[in-house]
């Protein structure tokens, strides 16, 4: 494998691990437990196209997509605030979708 491709794949894997950690942290803050996260249907991080993250909380699974650019800059700590804000929005949408409405 070309060293550049290997480096890019490592950046994606680093970002994926970082996102998993942050997602779990944000969920725990509001009392939700992430039961599983799966990237790219377990096909690895070699692809430079959009990256799919399946987040499972209880019996509910949500699909979220990240661009290759988002992953590589997040791995380099260059866009943490924007990605973290997006992750928090995702968590709050998950929470809103899982809690019964009190109308």
The region, left, alpha or beta by phi > 0 then psi within -120 to 50, assigned to residue 37 is: beta
Q: Looking at the domain assignment, is residue 64 inside a domain?
A: yes
Give the pLDDT of residue 42: 79
Q: Looking at the domain assignment, is residue 103 inside a domain?
A: no
More confident residue, 14 or 60: 14
Kindly state the average pLDDT of the residues 4-26. 91
Kindly state the average pLDDT of the residues 16-42. 92
Q: What's the domain count of the chain? A: 1
Question: What pTM did the predictor assign?
Answer: 0.85
Q: Looking at the domain assignment, is residue 81 inside a domain?
A: yes
Query: How many Cα atoms occupy the beta-carbon half-sphere of 84 within 13 Å?
Result: 11
Distance between CA 86 and CA 89 in Å, rounded? 5
């Amino acid at each position: 494998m070309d060293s550049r491709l290997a480096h890019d794949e490592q950046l994606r894997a680093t970002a994926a691990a970082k996102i998993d950690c942050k997602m779990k942290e944000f969920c725990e803050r509001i009392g939700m437990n992430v039961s599983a996260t799966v990237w790219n249907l377990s096909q690895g991080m070699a692809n430079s196209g959009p990256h799919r993250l399946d987040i499972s909380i209880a019996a509910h699974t949500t699909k979220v997509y990240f661009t290759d650019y988002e992953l590589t800059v997040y791995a380099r700590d260059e866009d943490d605030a924007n990605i973290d804000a997006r992750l928090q929005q995702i968590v709050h949408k998950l929470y809103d979708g899982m809690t019964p409405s009190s109308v």
